[in-house]
Structure 1
């Protein structure tokens, strides 16, 4: 049996069926080996029949096998256009990447600058506390108050890392409860805490000098007393600022209606300082 390979064709077209049938027909045709060759009676006895042998130069059967090249998934995938085949899509992708990268670097630089240029915090506080025309001007007052809040939050986070998470959570919960209780008490009580404005201001300076003294004297009981005094002073400050905000029958309640930023800043500082002293108390107690 000889095999002959012709030009490749596609098997899916059905042309190979004709070739298979043709090969099968050739297989069924066999040479007649039992045929007798006889001569006429005058030529003598009949010759002994012999099976004919095929010539060596001629093929007995020829089968045609046609092989077609089929496309593989890898070949077909190369013809599909990728998502970045369009130049405009690539340019848009690059713009988005660099835009996000720029924002990330700016935010990182701003956070680093807070710790490098921390006097900015006090500059904003001074402007909001002393420059009445600026804190009444919209949107400058909102912008300054927002910057001050961000800076205060970052500095507060830097302080909180010296305590464990449980202590910070306890201090946060205690501050929230104390703030709510003092606010309700300040609104409903008949006592006028606005009269304590001068006393609290003097007490704040005493507390400041006491804190400077603790830098050189690291005594446990002095630190505990410092944290307790700070908690009491800023609790009274919270009562006074709430009563000044609600006004009414209190002696010092002459805030201008446009001083909402100043009132919010005072109460915010009271709560933040109250949180810091409560956190210090919890840290010393543990």
Structure 2
């Protein structure tokens, strides 16, 4: 599974009041294509390699923060991260395809894309300030990670897992509001685009995974 959002990484940016949206959305689109290619390649990756790849994914996020001021390095690392992330997504997507069916997974992605796009558009068009959600979302993600670790040792009931996945959905809808609100109100520099793309990508991917989990629990019942 991918890292649980950016958890404060956006706060590391230096805000300049600029808004190079065309370059940002172009980079995001290319990044999603690279991640999709990584997901396809993930079919050929031996199972024992997925845990090391997940660790690499976390390390790359940390390195991107320190290298964000160097645009060329940042973009290279961004695309490398997207590819590795696509690889590590394969086990989860493969599991849900086998249990729910490919059509249900596609529908879940459509729901995720619609919810993500609608939330992002609302934050950008309305220009409402959702930055106050930052602290709450940070604490919520920590709680979500703790619950996930607890679930590993003490499996949840179907009802508890349904609540857990619904909680995850709400958190990453909230992070989408927060991230796009901050970009719209404060602006961002071009050199920050790689890190922003990674943060926004993680919002979308985690939203998708929690929606899949939610649907999976409902179908289990």
Please report the TM-score for the alignment, with normalisation by the length of structure 2.
Answer: 0.71
Are the equivalent residues in 2 in contact too, given 1:187–1:243 (CA < 8 A)? yes
Cα shift at 1:266: 1.1
Higher helix share: 2
Query: Are 1:122 and 2:55 counterparts?
Result: no
Q: Is the 8 A contact 1:214 1:222 kept in 2?
A: no
State yes or no: 1:246 paired with 2:197. no
Q: Deviations over 1:198-241 (max 9, x none)?
A: 11101111111111121213311111001000000000100111
Question: What stretches of structure 1 of length at least 5 have no aligned partner?
Answer: 1-106, 248-252
Does residue 271 (structure 1) correspond to residue 204 (structure 2)? The answer is yes
Question: Is residue 136 of structure 2 the alignment partner of residue 199 of structure 1?
Answer: yes
Q: How does 1:166-185 map to 2 (within 5 A)?
A: 166-185=103-122
TM-superposed CA distance for 1:189, in Å, is 2.4
Task: Provide the residue aligned with 1:208 in structure 2.
Answer: 145
Structure 2 gaps of 5+ residues are 1-40
Q: Kindly state the Cα deviation for residue 254 of structure 1 after the two structures are TM-superposed.
A: 5.9
Q: Which residue of 2 is the match for residue 236 of structure 1?
A: 174
Residue 111 of structure 1, CA deviation:
4.2
Paired position in structure 2 for 1:223 = 161
With CA pairs under 8 Å and 6+ residues apart, which has the higher RCO, 1 or 2?
A: 2
RMSD: 2.1
Q: Which residue of 2 aligns with 1:14?
A: none
Count of aligned positions: 171
Task: Give TM-score, length-normalised by structure 1.
Answer: 0.56
Residues 167 and 283 in structure 1, CA contact (< 8 A), matched pair in contact too: no
